[in-house]
Amino acid sequence: MDLYTISFFFSTMWVGPFWFGMLVFPEHELTQKAMQGPWFFLGPILMWWAVTLADPQGLIELAKDSSDPTAILDGLASIMGTPAGAAAAWAHMVAGDIFVTRWMWLRCMEVKASRKIMAPIIFFGVMLMPVGVALYLAFIRTEQTNFTTTD
């Protein structure tokens, strides 16, 4: 396996236990403790740095392409079409997904959202972020007072 495959695997597997804790054991003391520090997203961030430092030319090319608004999308597509670019983008996405999911989990815990409401938000927060955020906005932000019982 090369660095990019390892980075893809590690980024994905790193967030798994944190996501699982928020999803299955949201109130558990270990989940609460694990989600306090930066550890939940540190793995993917470190993978992004490792991949970027292993192939800095991609970042240099992206910076060059960003000076021309008509070329930036083509430059990004070109970089994303490489193993280094795909691995870096994946690590970036995974870090963002778990970061936002943690924020939604914290808010669900604050308003004492029911498990029926919280579970789909947390599930989709990592699996399909736009759906997780939409669920959060629909069920928590707009109707906080209606979902204050726990199951």
Tens-place pLDDT, residues 14-54? 999 999 999 999 999 999 999 998 999 899 999 999 998 98
DSSP label at residue 138: I
> Which residues, other chains included, contact 35 with Cβ-Cβ below 8 Å and sequence gap of 6+?
18, 21, 22, 102, 105, 106
pLDDT score at 144: 59
More confident residue, 136 or 68: 136
Instruction: Report the Cα 149 to chain-centroid distance in Å.
Output: 27
Give Cα separations from 52 to 23, 27, 59 (angstroms). 31, 37, 7
> Which residues, other chains included, contact 17 with Cβ-Cβ below 8 Å and sequence gap of 6+?
34
> Which residues, other chains included, contact 59 with Cβ-Cβ below 8 Å and sequence gap of 6+?
52
Share of the chain above pLDDT 90, in %: 62
Residues 109-122, mean pLDDT to the nearest whole number = 93
